Structure 1
Amino acid sequence: MLIVTKKFIFSVGEVWFDENPEELSNVDVVHYRQLLHPIKGGQSDEFYTRLIDLTKSHDELWECISSNDRYKIRRAEQKDHIIYEYWEKIDSDTLNDFSDFYDSFASQKGLTKINRAQLQNRADAGVIDISRVKLKDGESLVWHVYYRTKNRVRLLHSASLKKNDDTSYQSILGRANRYHHWQDIVRFKNLGISTYDFGGWYIGNTDREKLGINQFKEKFGGEVVKNFNCVYGITLKGKLYLHLLNVYMRLSQLSLLRKPYFLSHTQTQEKIEAPASSEVEFSIPEAQRE
Structure 2
Amino acid sequence: MIEEKKQLLTWISFPSKEEIRLSLATVYLQCDCRKFLITHIRQPFTSYLIDLSSSQKQLIEGYSKKLRQNIKRAQKAQIFIERDQNPTAVISLFSPTAKEKKLNPISEANFLTKVDFLITRAIHPKYGILAAHAYQLDLTSKKVKGLYNASAFRQYADDNILQYLCGQANSMLYHEDFAYFRKLGYRTYDFGGYGGNASGVDYFKDRFGGTVTTQYNYYPVWYFLVRKIRQAWK
TM tier relative to shorter chain: 0.7 to 0.9
Aligned length: 226
Alignment-derived partner of residue 77 in structure 1: 75
Provide the identity percentage. Answer: 26
Q: Does 1:149 align with 2:157?
A: no
Distance 1:137 1:244 in 2: 48
- More deviation, 153-162/105-114: 105-114
Tell me, yes or no, if the aligned pair for 1:29 and 1:231 is still in contact at 8 Å. no
CA deviations over 1:172-230 (Å, ceiling 9, x no partner): 11211111110011111111100011122114x5xx7xx42111111111210000011
| Aligned AA (1:132) | R
| Aligned AA (1:153) | V
Q: Which ranges of 4 or more aligned residues in structure 1 deviate by more than 6 Å?
A: none
CA RMSD of aligned residues (A): 2.5
Q: Which of the numbers 121, 125, 135 marks the counterpart of 2:124?
A: 135
- Quote the offset at 1:139 in angstroms: 1.8
Unmatched segments (≥5 aa) in structure 1: 233-241, 259-290
| Aligned AA (2:28) | Y
| Aligned AA (2:15) | D
Alignment-derived partner of residue 186 in structure 1: 179
Unmatched segments (≥5 aa) in structure 2: none
Alignment-derived partner of residue 5 in structure 1: 6
- More deviation, 95-104/38-47: 95-104
Distance 1:51 1:58 in 2: 16
CA deviations over 1:9-38 (Å, ceiling 9, x no partner): xx200111125898x99x851111100123
Q: Does 1:220 align with 2:205?
A: no
CA deviations over 1:155-186 (Å, ceiling 9, x no partner): 11011132121011011112111111100111
Alignment-derived partner of residue 149 in structure 2: 158
Alignment-derived partner of residue 164 in structure 2: 171
Alignment-derived partner of residue 243 in structure 1: 222
Q: Name the SS of the counterpart of 2:200 in structure 1.
A: helix
With the length of structure 2 as denominator, give the TM-score of the two structures.
0.86
- Quote the offset at 1:101 in angstroms: 3.2
- Quote the offset at 1:137 in angstroms: 3.5
Q: Name the SS of the counterpart of 1:121 in structure 2.
A: coil
Q: Which of the numbers 11, 15, 31 marks the counterpart of 1:14?
A: 11
Tell me, yes or no, if the aligned pair for 1:38 and 1:229 is still in contact at 8 Å. no
Q: Name the SS of the counterpart of 1:2 in structure 2.
A: strand
Q: Does 1:119 align with 2:111?
A: yes
Alignment-derived partner of residue 56 in structure 2: 58
| Cα pair distance change 1:55/1:245, threshold 3 Å | closer
Distance 1:35 1:172 in 2: 36
| Cα pair distance change 1:40/1:96, threshold 3 Å | same
Tell me, yes or no, if the aligned pair for 2:133 and 2:150 is still in contact at 8 Å. yes
Distance 2:92 2:167 in 1: 21
Structure in which a larger fraction of residues adopt strand: 2
Tell me, yes or no, if the aligned pair for 1:47 and 1:228 is still in contact at 8 Å. yes
